[in-house]
Amino acid sequence: MHTDPTIIEQRLDRVLSQRLRPAVHARCVPLAVEVWHVPGEPVTVAEGLAADYTPARVGERWGPAWSTSWFRVSGRIPDEWAGLPVEAVVDLGFGFTDPGFSAEGLVHRADGTAVKALNPRNSHVPVTAAAAGGEQVAYYIEAAANPLVMQSGPELLTFHPTQVGARAPWLTGADGPAGEPLYQVRRADLAVFDREVFELVHDLEVLGQLAAELPEQATRRWQVLRTVERALDAIDLQDVSGTAAAARAVLAPALASPAGPAAHRISAVGHSHIDSAWLWPLRETVRKVARTVSNATQLMDDHPGFRFVMSQAQQLAWLKEHRPDVFARAVEKTKSGQFLPVGSLWVEPDTNITGGESLVRQFVHGKRFYLEEFGVETEEMWLPDTFGYNAALPQLMKLAGVRWFLTQKISWNTTNVFPHHTFWWEGIDGTRIFSHFPPVDTYNSDLSGAEVARSERNFREKACTDRSLVPFGYGDGGGGPTREMMARADRLADLEGSPKVAVEAPADFFAKAFAEHTDAPVWVGELYLEFHRGTLTSQLATKQGNRRNEHLLREAELWAATAAVRTGAAYPYQELDRLWKTLLLHQFHDILPGTSIAWVHREAEQTHREVAAALEGLVGRALGALAGPDEGGEVVFNAAPHARGGVPALGAAPRSAPPGRTPPVADGDGFVLDNGLIRVTVDARGLVTSVHDIAAGREALAPGAPANLLQLHQDFPNRWDAWDLDAFYRNTVRDLTEADEVAAVDGGVRVVRTFGASRIEQLLTLERGARRLDVATVVDWREREKVLKAAFPLDVRAAHSTAEIPFGQVERPTHTNTSWDAAKFEVCAHRYLHVGEPGWGAALVNDSTYGHDITRDVRADGGTTTTVRLTLLRAARFPDPDADQGVHTLRYALVVGVEPGDAVREGYHLNLPERAVPGSAVVAPLVALDEEGVVVSAVKLADDGSGDVVVRLYEARGRRVAAVLTPSFALGSAVVTDLLERPLPDDGSHEVAGSGVRLRLRPFQIVTLRLAVRRP
């Protein structure tokens, strides 16, 4: 017998798509359709149910972009269907997009409770398992007309600029047309659900997908294909329902053949990664969460073994606020062990740009929500889609009570393949967390044969363990798992030729994987994503709002706590809680990185302004309570963790004479700034041609190379515009050396440059007593598809750079010896980046820049120099075609003759300027430290309202140190706590000694102290 596998495969595909899948709902009658088009933003369910509906029909168009329409579908179950399972089948105009990227709907009963969602992969609504003939049926569907922002081409995603991501003015009541309808109702039927045909579809589908993944000459493959062919022969295509059972009988032996004893084992975890904002606004995500959770809980009713995880507390908080009926279902299913809160974070944040204290609060607010609402202590950090992971995270996880870490994004690397899937991740302080990267390389698996086979094929720890995890369910825009996926899971539980698939909780997987593989390999340091490097720069205004508010929150807590202890002022617990949660939401990994649509970013910028105003109010009230009587003087408050200008760290003192700025002195066609510590020369082009360290007797700049050189590059990546900065951008560069104005002004040198339609004005200043050249910059940015850099060529042979990350620093080689080193051509630094030789170094500090690059150059007389560049602005056109357009104000500075520890201080000082208010008081810091390398990141009152003072500190230089923390209030007790302010076991690393607390810290250790105030 001659068998052609290709013919069988092609036959199977056509029979499934054109005959069998349609036959699942072959017996049907039409539903009556009515519609109400919401005139603006979405309305409540009560308003939707009470609206005036008008008759509509299948074929009717609906849905201008971002609009909402409510449909009412109704009908009568035919008498002859009595006792049969009946479903409604509704197609709102679904195309071939993934769920959550176009039309979506949430189905409601007449009482307003949610049933389940409709999307392009899920168009059925369960009506009854056993119909009563003549029964009337009616449902209400809240349908969202979300435009398809990111189009899919024949082979690749396309990234064409589009205005569809902007908020339409008519949504808020402005005059103007709503736009053309995007969708068309294609189907609205009552139908008999043919269970036997449904099961046949998945019998054939699973076996067909299995055969496609088996080796070409494998006996099992040929046997399966022959069985499939015989089953197809058994189907009468004109009577699919009547012959489905016979075909299934043919397939049964092939499906019953068990997997071998050495089969790979897959823990399948139901999941739906929902971007809290991305190609849709925040308000739409609120509805996406309700749709997805409705789907998941409905699926749990039919599949008791189904397990589903949700990983963002913010989304469940939205659910509780906006859809309490759906939230109640989630709580109910949590008690049954089916709905599983995981992740431990408020949202799935960016972890490159988010500050350290913000990451702490992501854990605090995330874990507290799960504890308070679900009674669950989460132990997983579930972060599948973030664009790289800083090396402080292992310690933060451990301090939050997290045991396991999961992501898969590193599989997107474009240069190097990450060498592990199950491993220990070691952070900068030495903490290790057991981690897993699902080898399926997606967080949106549909449990297809291809993806199950890929999991086994990719898995890199085969020699040591045979277990991996697969998150399954439609995501990004939501949707979640489907009954089709559960049907595949059932058949793949124990099937010859396939890995064994078990639907279970991630905790079950991690416990088993850990027991089998405690000696897993170790990865040390950051998990750098070799992709999406442009996210360090895109949407500067969003990033500036985040940076500003991170520091304002620090100030608000510090001064409010100080005022509460010193004066008895009320501490603003609720307001701080609200503002923290607002900030944490906007650290989501498609908001803070700058990769969302225009609507999201314009809204984020406005929200950051409102948060800043509220925080300034809190700070102002606290300072007013502390500053004392106004006797014509000023009190200077210093929120930075290092003293300056005679004002102690975290305290305040009456103003002494301000240091002032060094006036510029004409020098030929240029100017010199000289404060006795450093001498800066600015030439007629406005370029810095010399920075001389007077005390060290050496020049900071590379010979013949000007500093603060603004450079413009073409920036048109191959794809993912707002995300990517491709290495070839460096192939062309324009040095901005022509100046419209170079002039001495009061306190500095002003330089004005214009190019294209853009204008840059910079003020270069040097304060007395400082080793820091400040550059205040105002950019009117009108470029498109360009990237702006500021270059500082330094005469230093640096083997590595030292960049600030949350709660510490990371060293990266400056060379490109290996592909791993070369791939880091754009790196993240927070407030500073330092390069140096033993005994001398220089740092760049900034108030809003994260992207940097470091290169090495050869001196004419031998040796190498090091150029550090800050990435100031980009101008990507997708998904926001107007990204970064407009006026931006930012600051950066060059600090010379300093070590990394000095850079820590300068970075804080630049980001936390002093505040001068009328008054006369001396405000002693609540706490003081005798070791400058130990940095206080937060001073606040305990969240439980006890009045205890909570101090978080960390060792910032990578050294083992002893330090004494001395409170300025009567100390009752001192307890080391976890991030949630719960006591940790005493490990002997601290002791109360007299009126202070003696601490012993390892390099980069984070410590949270809870200090009880002893009352009189």
First to last CA, the chain: 98
| 963 and 929 Cβ atoms separated by less than 8 Å | yes
Contacts of 819 (CB under 8 A, 6+ apart): 415, 416
The DSSP symbol for 17 reads I
Alpha-carbon gap, residue 754 to 740, rounded angstroms: 7
The tokens describing 315, both together, are 């989304």
- CA 587 from centroid of its chain's CA atoms: 6
Closest CA to 787 of 736, 827, 729: 729
Give 575: exposed, middle or buried? Use CB within 10 Å, 0-12, 13-18, 19+.
middle
List residues bridging with 189 in a β-sheet: 30, 89
Burial 431-465 (b: 16+ CB within 10 A, else e): bbbbbbbbbbbbbbbbbbbebbbbbbebbbbeeeb
DSSP 704-769: T--BSEEEEEE---SS-TTT---GGGGGS-EE----SEEEEETTEEEEEEEETTEEEEEEEEEBTT
Q: Which one of 203, 385, 429, 693 is the catalytic residue?
A: 385
SS3 494: coil
DSSP element (H, E) containing 128? strand 124-128
| Strand runs labelled E in 564-693 | 634-638, 651-654, 665-667, 670-674, 678-682, 688-693
763, β-bridge pairs: 750, 776
- Give the C-alpha separation, 153 to 159, whole Å: 10
Q: 3-state class of 248 per DSSP?
A: helix
Rounded distance between C-alpha atoms, residue 186 and residue 194, angstroms: 21
* Cβ neighbourhood burial of 338 (10 Å; 0-12, 13-18, 19+): buried
Question: Is there a catalytic annotation at residue 795?
Answer: no
User: In 3-state terms, what secondary structure has residue 202?
Assistant: helix
CA distance 547 to 724: 22
Q: What secondary structure letter does DSSP report for 305? A: T
Query: DSSP for 777-826?
Result: EEEEE--SSEEEEEEEEES---SEEEEEETTEEEEEESS-SSHHHHT-SS
CB 199 within 8 A of CB 487: yes
Pairing relationship of beta strands 522-524 and 422-426 according to DSSP bridges: parallel
* Residues with active-site annotation: 385
